[in-house]
Amino acid sequence: MKTKLLVLLIIYSIGGISLADSIIQPSNTKGRSAIQSSNIIFKNDKEDDEKVSYTSAINELKNKISQAPSEYDLYVPLIDLYLKANQYDNAYKELTFLNNLSKRNKLNESILNELSDVEKSAEKLAKYNKNADLNINLVLINLILKNNKKAQEYLVSASSGNMFIETFKEVFNTTENYNEAIVLADKILNVNPSNMQLRKLKAVYLLQTNQKENAQKELIILSQAVPDDEDVKYMLYNLLSATNTNEKELLKKLYPENTGKEEISYKKLAELLMKNSNTPDAKAYAQKMIKLYPENAEGYIILSEIYMKEGNLKDCYDILKTVRDKADNNEDIAKYNVMLAKLSDEPVKEADALMNNNLYEQALSVLEASNQENLYVILGMARANYFLNNKQKALELLNKAMSLYPDNPDVFYYFAFVFYKENDIESSRKYISKALKINPEHKYSLTLSDAVNKKEADTYISKINSLLEQQNFQEAMKLVNEAIAIDGKNSVLFYYKGLIYIAMNNYAASTALFYKAIELDKNNLPAYYYLGVAFDNLSEGQNALEYYKKYVENLPEDDYGESERLNNAKMRIEKLSRQIN
């Protein structure tokens, strides 16, 4: 059996990186020198019946190329391997890369000669292997070799391949010979008339060559075959609107499925025009729809979107008021709310920024100037009025928001916030509960709930302090437990409970409470000090020393109120250090 040795040197590993993304540098390799020292063995082309594994050869080649991605003449052997191993998708990626290099004149004569040899080998494979993807690769190979006629011939055989349309475009966008493209497309469509992607491409080329009548025929076929293709609809619209086609006929050709339902066709056409940034025509059809079908909210919604795109916020808001009156289903109401939210977004953001800097009068002016009844405009106005001490006006606005948006948790949160600020804990809890009933994960209400709990729990602290001074430890413990039941996240309360145990000489029980206080607030420095005291009294000198030190090291220098504890801590640190050492 005869075999021939084909020597390969550099092999590429894709490893997640497309060759098209590789850094391109001029090759230092001259001629075929880079592929003259390989020890990879290939079978003779005549031995097609002999099974050969290409995996190890491919992997070796990929790994070597990954180390020298700019050695362009080494991609050709990899492509040859991919083709022989029937890995056509991988071959196509590498050929696309070489094609891009070819356009920039980065392929030398040696590389092109190697590719020509691969093309001959692939042609032999194609005679026995009727795979469309193989023929797609042959199209690209011939395109790189400037064999445009052969590239077009292989396009016919490649018409059912995965990358056919992309390759078809590449061939004719390179030559810009669109008339040839149309002829070839017709040849393929005669065999496979259901290839709508090719028909669409043919329509594009017909438009580029100013064959409007033929383009219109193709687009009408496409419009009926793929009614959801908006590109086709828009090309057809531009053709028809440039002629004397009357409006009824235009709608019929664009939306044959809606024959007799012009209301739907007007809506679809207005939306199509808007998506393609044809604002004047979109506005005209939206206005016509409103005139012909005044009870349909859709026309008003589309027109409001157009006004918003134009920056005409006043007309947008006026139209949206009409939408609110016309909306007769949940979908239209939802669209109205979304549009209104978009409309109010900028003034609300501006007002929020002003209020965050305590500029409530300016914020109120911005919101009032927007002239809207959007929820967040109303809530923002309520907030501004409250902090301007117009509390009655704030409550009136909140009641208005509740009447318009009775199922929105933000409304109840704002009510709860006002009552919280007014120290009306009971009312604040009531509205937090309503907000969380609508949305149990409403983050603002959950945060406010914690603040309400803390505010109520804090009212116990002065009473607990007083009872400790009176050495009424039993009553103090009762109150601190009540407060913790209200606010289990309050570091100060656990600290006070630890103090009660210290006062009762129950040092072991106090340590767990001081640990909890520090867990909730690592800056609760007195808790560190009293942990030191507790361990000191439990004769655990090492632990006592640790917490005395943490207290002293973290205490601010100007905290004069801590002087007694500070002096005691320093004294105990000195003494315990001597004892331990």
Span 37-75, pLDDT tens digits = 333 444 444 444 434 568 888 888 888 888 888 888 888
Rounded Cα distance between 401 and 275, Å, is: 34
What is the phi/psi pair of residue 122, to 5°? -65, -35
Summarised one tens digit per residue, pLDDT across range 407-446 is 889 999 999 999 999 989 889 999 999 999 999 998 889 9
CB 7, CB 36: distance < 8 Å: yes
Q: How high is the pLDDT of residue 524?
A: 92
**What structural domains and CATH numbers belong to the chain?**
1-176 (no CATH), 360-456 (1.25.40.10), 464-580 (1.25.40.10)
CA 343 remoteness from chain centre: 22
Compute the C-alpha angle 230/235/238, nearest 5°.
125
- In one-letter notation, the amino acid at residue 168 is F
CA-based Rg of the chain, rounded to a whole angstrom? 40
SS3 53: coil
SS3 302: helix
Rounded Cα distance between 502 and 251, Å, is: 87
Rounded Cα distance between 393 and 423, Å, is: 19
Rounded Cα distance between 576 and 538, Å, is: 13
CB 244, CB 212: distance < 8 Å: no
Q: How high is the pLDDT of residue 10?
A: 28
- In one-letter notation, the amino acid at residue 227 is P
**Digits of tens for pLDDT over the chain (581 positions)?**
333 323 222 233 333 333 333 322 333 333 333 333 333 444 444 444 434 568 888 888 888 888 888 888 888 888 988 888 889 999 899 898 898 888 888 888 998 899 999 899 888 888 888 888 998 889 899 988 999 888 888 888 888 888 888 888 888 887 778 898 888 888 888 888 888 888 888 888 888 889 988 988 888 888 888 888 888 888 888 888 887 778 888 888 888 777 777 888 888 888 888 888 888 888 888 888 888 888 888 888 888 888 877 767 667 777 777 777 777 677 777 766 666 666 666 778 778 878 888 888 888 888 887 777 778 889 999 999 999 999 999 999 999 989 888 888 999 999 999 999 998 988 999 999 999 999 999 888 999 988 888 888 888 888 888 888 888 989 989 999 998 898 888 899 999 999 999 999 999 999 999 999 999 999 999 999 999 999 999 999 899 999 999 998 888 766 555 678 888 989 988 898 888 87
Q: How high is the pLDDT of residue 261?
A: 79
Q: How high is the pLDDT of residue 301?
A: 83
Q: Crossing angle for the helix pair 425-438 and 443-458, nearest 10 degrees?
A: 160
Q: How high is the pLDDT of residue 559?
A: 58
> Tokens in use for 284?
């005209």
Q: How high is the pLDDT of residue 128?
A: 81
SS3 138: helix
Helices (H), 158-243: 164-175, 178-191, 196-208, 212-225, 230-241
Q: How high is the pLDDT of residue 320?
A: 75
CB 197, CB 165: distance < 8 Å: yes
Nearest to 268 by CA among 219, 233, 292: 233
Q: How high is the pLDDT of residue 49?
A: 40
pTM surpassing 0.85?
no
Q: How high is the pLDDT of residue 191?
A: 85
CA distances from 255 to 100, 236, 486 (A): 41, 11, 65
SS3 12: strand
CB 107, CB 130: distance < 8 Å: no
Q: How high is the pLDDT of residue 297?
A: 81
> Tokens in use for 524?
């609760």
CA distances from 264 to 252, 268, 285, 441 (A): 11, 6, 12, 40
